[in-house]
Amino acid sequence: MPRSNGELVRLDSVVNLVSQQSPSRVDRLDRQRQISVRGGIKEGYALADRIEALRGAANELGMPPAYTVSVAGRGRELERTFVEFGWAFLLSVIFMYIVLASQYESLSHPLIILLSLPLSVPFALLSLWLTSTTLNLYSALGMLVLFGVVAKNAILQVDYARNLRMAGTDLHTAVVQASRDRLRPILMTTLALVGGMLPMALGTGPGAEERRTIAVVVIGGQTLSLLLTLVVVPVVFYLVEAVQERWSTARTPAREATQSA
């Protein structure tokens, strides 16, 4: 440290030197200091599970209120993707109901068709579990494809049974005939879909894991839920039509009495 006359003065004669540790660099995000912790995922665990474990470990530290914990990178994209896909699922179901209600001019028949969608979700998740596949962006895309295929099968049954009812066929005969006549096209489209997805499920190479996830969801969900939807959709259609028929029959005498009066 130079004096005014140019002579040097030792620095420890005017200040106290203390040796301490400090970070080699200071990272900031949104004008706030941040510390990034990076890690890999052990085999057998999913990214969502590790995010929950990380949040639990951060809560156990008991950090002051001035400190916050946020997820970045693939974890943040995963959370954002699931939120957006939740809206996509909801909007797709609403759009399907609007289209079917306008086509059939009925409020009950679209609900019967859409009943097959939640029936396929447990089987899609079961197929992921059986193949040791995680729930990720690609499996969510596979569920969207699965919804379209499952709804198509229900539309074939309900539409044909509805046409038979409009032609004057009794309820029981219409349900049985629709289930029998539409069984072949449903099985043909299901086998064609499964056959088309098999190369994707068995393929190798770059990006094969992501493509395999979509194929597993579609093949497993459609195959496992096929028998259940073939039984549940006609039964629910029969029950709904029977209730509506009894309701209209009960209201007919009252309407005739009102008109005669």
Burial of 105 per CB tally in 10 Å (0-12, 13-18, 19+): exposed
Q: In the prediction, which pLDDT does 248 show?
A: 73
Closest CA to 111 of 245, 238, 236: 236
Q: What is the pLDDT of residue 199?
A: 82
Q: Can you give the three-state secondary structure of the chain, one letter per residue?
A: CECCCCCECCHHHCCCCCCCCCCCCCEEECCEEECCCCCCCCCCCCHHHHHHHHHHHHHHCCCCCCCCCCCCCHHHHHHHHHHHHHHHHHHHHHHHHHHHHHHHCCCHHHHHHHCHHHHHHHHHHHHHHHCCCCCCHHHHHHHHHHHHHHHHHHHHHHHHHHHHHHCCCCHHHHHHHHHHHCHHHHHHHHHHHHHHHHHHHHCCCCCHHHHHHHHHHHHHHHHHHHHHHHHHHHHHHHHHHHHHHHHHHHHHHHHHHHHHC
Q: Residue 260: pLDDT above 60?
A: no
158 versus 43: the higher-pLDDT residue is 158
Type of residue at 57:
A
pLDDT recorded at residue 73? 72
Determine the Cα–Cα distance for residues 92 and 147; give it in Å rounded to an integer.
9
Evaluate if pTM is beyond 0.75.
no
- Contact assessment for residue 150 and residue 112, using Cβ atoms and an 8 Å cutoff: no
Query: Per mean pLDDT, which range of 99-103, 182-186, 228-232, 250-254 is the poorest?
Result: 250-254
CA atoms of 10 and 185, how far apart (whole Å): 95
- Residue 259 banded pLDDT, cuts 50, 70, 90: low
Q: Could you tell me the domains of the chain?
A: 34-72 (no CATH), 80-254 (1.20.1640.10)
Distance CA 175, CA 76 (A): 49
For residue 52, the model assigns a pLDDT of 77
pLDDT (tens digit, 9 = 90+) per residue, 180-231? 888 888 888 888 888 888 888 787 777 677 778 888 888 888 888 888 888 8
Mean pLDDT taken over the chain: 80
Between 35-49, 140-154, 174-188, the lowest mean confidence (pLDDT) is in: 35-49
Cα–Cα distance for residue pair 85/147, rounded to 1 Å: 13
pLDDT for residue 4: 63
